[in-house]
Amino acid sequence: MFTAINSLGQKICLMSYDYNEIKGFKDLKWFCPACHARLILKNGIIKQPHFAHTTLETCQAYSENESELHHDLKCQLAKWFQQQNYNCQIEYYLIELKQIPDLLINHHLAIEIQCSPLSIQRFNTRTKNYLDHGYQVIWLLGEKMQIKSRLTSLQLAMCAFSINSGVFLWQINQKQLELIEMIHVDLERSISYQKKTFAFFQGNIINHLRLPYRIHSNSLSGNVDWTMTSLIVRKGLYYANQQWMCLHPFAIKRG
């Protein structure tokens, strides 16, 4: 984690400081913004400077020891948002939710990067908690979690639906964001999909993330025949896989 509160009561994000400034922090005491436990400032040569709990047992907000890759992706994305003057808060503790999104954009969009396994129950709880409190959330699957020949239950849970992109989800690796769209599962559970890639720092990141919901000149607009659209979706879902039927109400709501 990059954000902590020091013994002077100041909230500090290490990404805003250079190596020498961080060296000057070593005599301060650091505390978790969520559980208030003592943190260790790790300021070695190889890994990026970061804070770590001595034990995660008491911390509800941080459930995983983040990998170096997760730290790196969080930094890259934060810089991309900040470069375009979006308000981007790194690891902002949302007190009423008792959750810390990786990034919070313009005070209402939570970005969650998932680089390690996560139970469906925890995914659902976290997602519902954001939505119930008026936040939007976009989950990005890190490299180890990405789509292969079959959908995992976590990937399935992360799928959303839009008219433009069909069933889709987001992935991230060290170079780019990836929109995996038009996901189709055949009767033998093999999947096919289309992929759009967005290299870091190229274009407007919010516009990329809006892409599945943007109105294109060639997408459905104006007098949409929703009866027909709904029929096509339901037919598609039915023939794809029975699992999609569970996804359907949520997908339509998000779409």
| Minimum separation from the CB atom of position 32 to Zn ion (A) | 3
Distances (CA, A) of 50 to 3, 58, 76, 243: 8, 19, 15, 41
Nearer to Zn ion, 29 or 108 (CB): 29
User: Which x/- pattern, by CB under 5 A, does the window 22-61 give for Zn ion?
Assistant: ----------x-xx-----------------------x--
Cβ–Cβ < 8 Å for 13, 91: yes
- Is residue 177 at the binding interface for Zn ion, with CB under 5 A as the rule? no
Closest to Zn ion by CB, 52 or 182? 52
Residue nearer to Zn ion on the CB measure, 13 or 59: 59
Interface size with Zn ion, residues (CB under 5 A):
4
Q: Which residues contact 214 (CB under 8 A, 6 or more apart)?
A: 164, 207
CB of 199 to Zn ion, least distance (A): 34
For Zn ion, which is the closer residue by CB, 53 or 208? 53
Q: Let me know the angle formed at the C-alpha of 107 by 104 and 112, rounded to the nearest 5 degrees.
A: 20
- Residue 176 pairs in a beta bridge with 199
List, edge to edge, every strand of the sheet that includes 50-53: 11-13, 3-6, 30-31, 38-42, 50-53
Q: SS3 of 196, please?
A: strand
Site string for Zn ion, 56-95 (x = CB under 5 A): ---x------------------------------------
Can you give the binding site for Zn ion, defined by CB under 5 A? 32, 34-35, 59
